Structure 1
Amino acid sequence: MWEETVAFSGPFDFDLALSRLALDPLHYVDIEKRLVKVPLSVNNKKIVAEVVGTGTLEKPEFLIRAETEKDRALERLSEIFQWNVKLIHIHEHFQTTELKSLFGEHYGTPLVLEFDPFSSLIKSIIHQQVNLNFAFALTERFVKTYGEEMDGVWFYPSPEKVAQLTVEELRELQFSGRKAEYVIGIAELAASGQLDFEKMKSKPDAEVAQELIKIRGVGPWTVENFLMFALGRPNLFPMGDIGIQNALKKYFNLDEKPTPAQMEKYKEPWNPYLSYASLYLWRSIE
């Protein structure tokens, strides 16, 4: 077992990050202890890393514990929690825009990634066109049937395992036939190496989008969601997202949802941090 302390300059609202992570019933989060246990696959090993917040909003500090793979685990946790992103620079950027008060209200909100790119893509397919409660229930059913538990933490099943499933098996969990086909199809691509998540990390947004949009079941919303929450890309603004449309309507006191032309105009000054505008707008209606 190793322990390491990570500290950097704020702001970074870890308590807010925890409250968002706690929305997913598959996450192991203890709000009072300011703790989250993160399932990591490092060098083909499954490990559980414990992240405890020991600092403050302005002076973030974390105690990290895990069994093995210290360097790679720390590197991956830094990616997931975006510890290397200077949120103060993003905050300052928005002080000259119409979103100034929104960024004051949600000061220090980090963009926390999904714990694993494959599970992120599968999760967004499962979440398509169903209400949030059912989406979480369906995802939980899927992971608890085919995934693996370690130290009270759930790991999504591997691409190899999902690729072996049948549509009928997933239908028994209440998947639609089409959704079951999409999930198995993505797993087959990932298991065969045609979908290489590690390589995607160094590709530009447009190239990743081009690769993903060819896959059955993957539309623009899923691509934008993946770029933002699996790869941590800072400049995404899903204009077709109903939540963002509703948040803009509320924030700007509009009579109806904004048109695409209005949204294009709004978002111009928010470049190159559109993902943070998206995140803070979602926060405003959560």
Structure 2
Amino acid sequence: MWQQRIEVEAPYDFSRVLERLAQDPLAKVDIEKQQLVIPLYINETPVAVFVRSIGTKQAPAFLVEAQYEQLKEAILSRLFHILHWDRSLLPIHEHFLQTELREIFREHEGTPLVLEPDLYFCLIKCIIHQQLHMKVAYKMTERFVKTFGREIDGIWFYPRPEQIARLSYDELKALQFSQKKSEYIIDISRLVAEGKLALDKLAEATDKEVMDTLLPLRGIGPWTVQNFLLFGLGRPNLFPKADIGLQRAVQKLLSLETKPSMAQMEALSKRWGSYLSYASLYLWRSIE
């Protein structure tokens, strides 16, 4: 095992990261030890990366441990992107202190937008979560991973597209997926496995280009693409106006009698301006 000490710019609240990830039964989180284990595929090699906080919100520092020292540079590069260590939260925090979101941003100061560790599985997870209550969505995702994924030393690694592409629709229906959702998951996995859908290339594309690439695919709508942009690619300025949870959070924030209309959501997004992905994240956090 190799070790690396990392210091990042304040504010950065790792306890908030662990709180949110702990909702996912697949996440390997130890709140007492302030530790997270991230399953990464580096050149298709499964690597369990241990991240432990050894600092504070105002002086954030971490100890990273993993195997495969020859992959250290690639692992750290992925880790910096996934955990939001590569950019400061301070200007985002200061921006929202000038808006109606100031109290939420004070309460959740230093909460980063943490990404899914794998673009393929992020897209599949978004499809699994479509139109499901969060607890049910997590349970279905857990069932999917524990049936087709790999467990290494107690860490679950997500299945690869080539493996899911070989499944029949009935194999997913046996896990209580609907016929349509089974088709969506397997058909999209086949596109990825055959090289017809290059998800890594989307990291260099604009938000519109990602939308134009993914929306024509059967089973993918605007909500799915927006979540992929947010939690897969880490795009900073997304506000999924049609998201029910986001609407509920805005209703609570503004003490509205009913959920806000699309026109009201659009007006808020224009008023809040930049960094809308963080407005979305903090609003979700305010009702979780």
Q: Same fold (TM over 0.5)?
A: yes
**2:123 match:** 121
**1:56 match:** 56
What per-residue deviation string (whole Å, max 9, x for no partner) do you get for residues 110-163 of structure 1?
100111111111111111112222211211111111110112111111000000
Aligned residue among 152, 163, 166 for 2:165: 163
The answer on 1:14 being equivalent to 2:11 is no
**2:66 match:** 66
Runs of 4+ in 1 over 6 A off after TM superposition: none
CA distance in 1 between partners of 2:195 and 2:272 (Å): 36
CA distance in 1 between partners of 2:246 and 2:132 (Å): 17
What is the TM-score when the length of structure 1 is the normalising length? 0.98
**1:149 match:** 151
**1:285 match:** 287
CA distance in 1 between partners of 2:95 and 2:135 (Å): 35
**1:182 match:** 184
Maintained 8 Å contact 2:127/2:185: yes
CA distance in 1 between partners of 2:106 and 2:214 (Å): 35
Maintained 8 Å contact 2:40/2:117: yes
CA distance in 2 between partners of 1:131 and 1:9 (Å): 35
Deviation at 1:44, TM superposition (A): 2.1
| Other structure's SS at 2:20 match | helix
Maintained 8 Å contact 2:16/2:108: no
CA distance in 2 between partners of 1:134 and 1:246 (Å): 19
| Other structure's SS at 1:141 match | helix
Maintained 8 Å contact 2:17/2:111: yes
- Alpha carbon RMSD of aligned pairs, Å? 0.9
Maintained 8 Å contact 2:236/2:278: yes
CA distance in 1 between partners of 2:8 and 2:131 (Å): 39
| Other structure's SS at 2:247 match | helix
Out of 123-132 and 56-65, give the one that drifted further. Answer: 123-132
Q: Please give the residue correspondences for 1:11-90 in structure 2 after superposition, counting only pairs within 5 Å.
A: 11-68=11-68, 69-90=71-92
Amino acid in the other structure paired with 1:277? A
**1:203 match:** 205
- Aligned positions, number: 286
Amino acid in the other structure paired with 1:82? H
Aligned residues: percent identity? 52
Q: Please give the residue correspondences for 1:205-220 in structure 2 after superposition, counting only pairs within 5 Å.
A: 205-220=207-222
Deviation at 1:193, TM superposition (A): 1.4
> Any gaps of 5 or more consecutive residues in structure 2?
none
CA distance in 2 between partners of 1:7 and 1:173 (Å): 43
CA distance in 2 between partners of 1:94 and 1:113 (Å): 21
Out of 241-250 and 263-272, give the one that drifted further. Answer: 263-272
| Other structure's SS at 1:29 match | strand
> Any gaps of 5 or more consecutive residues in structure 1?
none
CA distance in 1 between partners of 2:38 and 2:187 (Å): 27
